[in-house]
Structure 1
Amino acid sequence: MTQGERGTALLSVLLLVAVMAAISATAMDRLGLATRLAGNAASAAQARQWLAMAEDLGMSQLESQAADAGAALNSVLDVERTIALPDGMAVRATLRDGGNCFNLNSLAEEREGGRLIRSARSIDQFTNLMVLLGVGAGEARRIAESSADYIDTDRLPSPFGNERAVDSDGAGPVPDRAMVSITELSRI
């Protein structure tokens, strides 16, 4: 083997080593990425399991509270609760009515001290719902505003509101509390 042939062989071997090093580096990078993805998938699966467990635990607590609430079932809706998990962590959850009906008590939101304050978003939703059902826009707005005023505890009349101490026909006071029955809507 001549000097030129040895140089060519050495160059070929070095080229093969360089190609193999590049392939190895790429493979190691892919292996690291796959390991991180597997770890993320495991963490996501565990988070889904914790979420399902927290949901079951929360539902059991809320079902017992709803059973205790009786007719005032709406008192457990739209109230943020903290649910303790077995590992010492906690989840904050708010139960909202997800049915196919409009929760009239959502027209006012509960604030600190148990105060009920009008919810502009819910008033707009109730107005839009009535308009979709064929009620005139003005009449729908008046009913929604009056209903919110009926529930809120601020004693301040709002546009189209219903803040009075006693109805004009003497039927009774405006409650300034959450509605217990749908029949209360007829007082407005």
Structure 2
Amino acid sequence: MSLDASPFAHRESGASLVSALLLVAVMASMSMMLAGELRVAMRRSANMDGRDQAYWYALGAREYASGLIANAMREPATALRPDAAWLQSAREFPIERGVLTGRIADGNNCFNINGLVVDEGQGLLVADATQRGRFERLMSALGVPATEAGRIAAEASDWIDSDNRPLPGGGEDERYAGLATPYRTGNTLMAESGELLALASMTPTLYRLIEPHVCARPVAAPLPLNINTMTGDDWPLLVAVFDGALGRVAVEGILLSRPAAGFANAEAFWTLEPVQALTPDASLREAVGVDTRYFDVTVDVLHDGQSYRLEAVFEWRGGTTLHRLTQRYGYAQ
């Protein structure tokens, strides 16, 4: 019996060896998978830690910036000068494994998209033809073809106003209902200027062109530009306000000729020969002043090779208190 059983014993031994090898192979494969997942989990955790650390750096910079603004606005006449330190350039601060950059800008020096309508009360928002025309001229000054500028201005007005009657060249709900992914117009104030990308005629290229000059403030009214805090890059805003009567060269000349301390008041600005020749009416005079209500704070954090950005808008209502209206944080593009 022992001689006959020997071949079977060898077969069983071979099968056991194969089973053991298969088990080892499976365990090795599982170990590799677990090790890979562990590496991914550790990397994800490290990224989250880095993102959180950058966020706290950004929050600290935001609070520092808001404190600077609040203290400076104790004396608005001094804070809102053309040579004010906060207007000159961004500030850089070294941080552990990176660098932080903070910028403060006058949040009044932009075209308020929500000013394309007038609030008639009880939720009724009516398109404003004057502001629509200025939006067109702003885009034209930036190089947008006149036809496209007119169409975008009309579409933006229709997007915000509360009626369902499209303006010439504009579009209400039916304009978007037939799209592959249908949607409706907002029929209310825009929360941020990025909503312009939802317009039928807006493209990412056009939006990048106008983005530095537009904003969405929570008021259905145009923002008076602060002539004392405007920079050379803001010339398209003045061209739009002056309805194209003054070109880029004339506007840049006005900005360069400002007194070092700025204009003492709005009337001092309107006595300048180039603008006085325009015989400005009350509406035009209200479009340019020397006061600021909004401030934009931008914080860029480069930490562990990753870039993050925090953007916040503050409103100054007098005194030394700032009210934060909006904030966004995420990876910088």
**Structure 2: runs of 5 or more not aligned:** 1-7, 113-222, 276-333
Equivalent residue in structure 2 for 1:48, among 42, 51, 55: 55
1:94 to 70, 78, 103: 103
* TM-score, normalization by structure 1: 0.63
Q: Is the 8 A contact 1:84 1:90 kept in 2?
A: yes
Of residues 58, 73, 79, the one that matches 1:73 is: 79
Kindly name which structure, 1 or 2, has the bigger radius of gyration based on alpha carbons: 1
> How far apart, in 1, do the equivalents of 2:31 and 2:266 lie?
72
Q: Give yes or no for contact 2:61–2:102 (8 Å, CA) kept in 1.
A: no
Closer/same/farther in 2, CA of residues 127 and 180 from structure 1, 3 Å limit: same
Residue 168 (structure 1) aligns with: none
Q: Which has the higher helix share?
A: 1
Q: Which residue of 1 aligns with 2:68?
A: 61
Equivalences, count: 147
1:126 counterpart letter in structure 2: L
**Which amino acid is 1:105 matched to?**
N
Contact kept, 8 Å, 1:150 with 1:177, in 2: the verdict is no
Alignment partner, residue 182 of structure 1: 266
Residue 3 of structure 1: how far off its partner (Å):
1.2
Structure with the greater relative contact order (CA < 8 A, sep ≥ 6): 1 or 2?
Answer: 2
Residues 92, 101 of structure 2: 8 Å contact kept: yes
Percent identity, aligned pairs only, is 18
Alignment of 1:128-139 (within 5 A): 128=240, 130=241, 135=243, 137=244, 139=245
Give the Cα–Cα distance (whole angstroms) in 1 for the partners of residues 93 and 71 of structure 2: 16
> TM-score normalized by structure 2?
0.38
Note the alpha carbon deviations across 1:96-148, whole angstroms, 9 max, x for none: 012353332355x4xxxxxxxxx2x32123223x27xxx3x3x142xx64443
Q: Distance in 2 between matches of 1:83 and 1:64?
A: 20
RMSD: 3.1
Shift of 1:73: 3.2
- CA-to-partner distance for each residue in 1:41-94, whole Å, 9 max, x for gaps? 012111101110111022212321232x4324323452236476898x974433
Q: Residues 83 and 90 of structure 1 are in contact (CA less than 8 Å); yes or no, is this contact kept in structure 2?
A: yes
Structure having the higher strand fraction is: 2
